[in-house]
Amino acid sequence: MSGFKASARGFSLIEVLIAVIIFGVGLLAVASLQSVARKSSYEAVQRTTAVHLANSLLERMRANPRALENYLGGLGERTLSEAAPPAVATGCVTASCSASALAAVDVDQWWGLVIGNSEQVGGQPVGGLVRPTVCIRGESDGATGAYEVAIAWRGTTEIDQGGADSCAETDTAYGDFRRVVVVSSYLNAL
């Protein structure tokens, strides 16, 4: 046994290099996963915001049933976007407003929430949805019936939402990044 040396102790340079490479690949995978998680989290916040906003407008409509047709702009469908925002409603205090004036104030204030006026950086709204388009649909004469609010916005990743809803479907600025939420409710007119 005198001709055999004790086994070598420690790591060779090759083993250390392989361990560093494996560790590096693992770190890259974790960083990639973090990026995907951030995008998914942002998408979830945008979707939650859109659902909350759609419900908010339907509740405003429910609270002002005498002017349902005014929320629709006197038509069966009304579309709002950054290019076609609602008219600014002024000079109306809720307690002394007519039902139609209150509807105009509601839509104007609500649109401010959609585009994020409540949170601004450098005078620019940042708290709302990205490139929102809103489609408000219902009975053209403001009668009792089904009403819906569809909100489309630009997401962060491409997905195919073919046939999800027609709101902003032809807007080429969205492409495959278009997201849509539709909330419906049965409203009782007075």
Q: Is residue 152 part of a domain?
A: yes
* Furthest C-alpha separation in the chain: 107
**19-57 confidence digits (pLDDT tens):** 999 999 999 999 989 988 888 898 999 999 999 999 999
Q: Is residue 180 part of a domain?
A: yes
Q: Is residue 99 part of a domain?
A: yes
Q: Is residue 144 part of a domain?
A: yes
Give, as one character, the DSSP assignment of residue 132: -
| Residue range of the domain that includes 37 | 13-187
**113-134 confidence digits (pLDDT tens):** 999 888 878 888 778 899 999 9
Residue 129 confidence (pLDDT)? 92
Q: Is residue 5 part of a domain?
A: no
Residue 59 φ then ψ, to 5°: -70, -35
Total domains, the chain: 1
Q: Is residue 4 part of a domain?
A: no
pTM: 0.80
